[in-house]
């Protein structure tokens, strides 16, 4: 692959997608997954060790060609202080993991990647990232599990975020 972009949608319902750019400048999905989680004392947590191992495996053969992009987080309307803090904490933990690999990474505000990726999608669409992924990667399944009936929003957002970096 000429270039590899890893898009991260942080949070419990987030996702991670790795796309590769072929020699003829075509984007193709190499890997995708919901955000790895674990449960401790009845609380959901990001599985930071698994995330680190996954990233390590993805970049070990081509660190010079790999770039990460993480969605910038902020508070959302009607979100409590505790959940806002946890969301920011998880984004910071992901930034820490990515920074250990000494590869380029950037943050992107949701409005920036959405403006680029969703420009041809009606604003009334409920989940535009699903539509974007169906159009751009029609042969890919974004189901979180074999039992899932609808695409995983975190994976479709992470895919659009990685694709944004490709277009940038």
48-58 pLDDT tens trace: 999 999 999 99
What confidence tens digit (pLDDT) does each residue in 120-129 have? 999 888 889 9
CB atoms within 10 A of CB 40: 7
Helix (H) or strand (E) holding 66: strand 66-71
Structure token pair of residue 104 = 């380029």
As given in the structure block, the two tokens for residue 42 are 């009845």
- The per-residue pLDDT for range 101-111, each reduced to its tens digit, is 999 999 999 99
Structure tokens at 159: 């895919």
User: Which of 76-85, 91-100, 153-162 comes out lowest in average pLDDT?
Assistant: 76-85
* pTM for the whole structure: 0.92
Q: State the pLDDT confidence band at 77, using cuts at 50, 70 and 90.
A: low
Cα Rg of the chain, angstroms: 15
């Amino acid at each position: 692959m000429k270039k590899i972009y890893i898009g991260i949608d942080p949070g419990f319902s987030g996702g991670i997608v790795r796309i590769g750019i072929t020699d003829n400048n075509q984007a193709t999905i190499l890997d995708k997954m919901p955000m790895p989680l674990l449960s401790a004392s009845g609380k959901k947590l990001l599985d930071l060790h698994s995330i680190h191992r996954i990233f390590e495996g993805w970049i070990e053969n081509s660190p010079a060609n790999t770039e990460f992009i993480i969605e910038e987080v902020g508070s959302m309307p009607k979100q409590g202080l505790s959940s806002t803090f946890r969301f920011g904490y998880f984004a910071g933990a992901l930034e820490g993991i990515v920074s250990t690999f000494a590869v380029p990474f950037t943050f992107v505000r949701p409005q920036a990647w959405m403006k680029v990726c969703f420009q041809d999608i009606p604003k009334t669409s409920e989940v535009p990232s699903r539509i974007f992924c169906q159009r751009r990667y029609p042969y890919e399944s974004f189901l979180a599990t074999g039992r899932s009936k609808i695409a995983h929003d975190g994976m479709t957002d992470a895919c659009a975020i990685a694709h944004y970096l490709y277009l940038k």
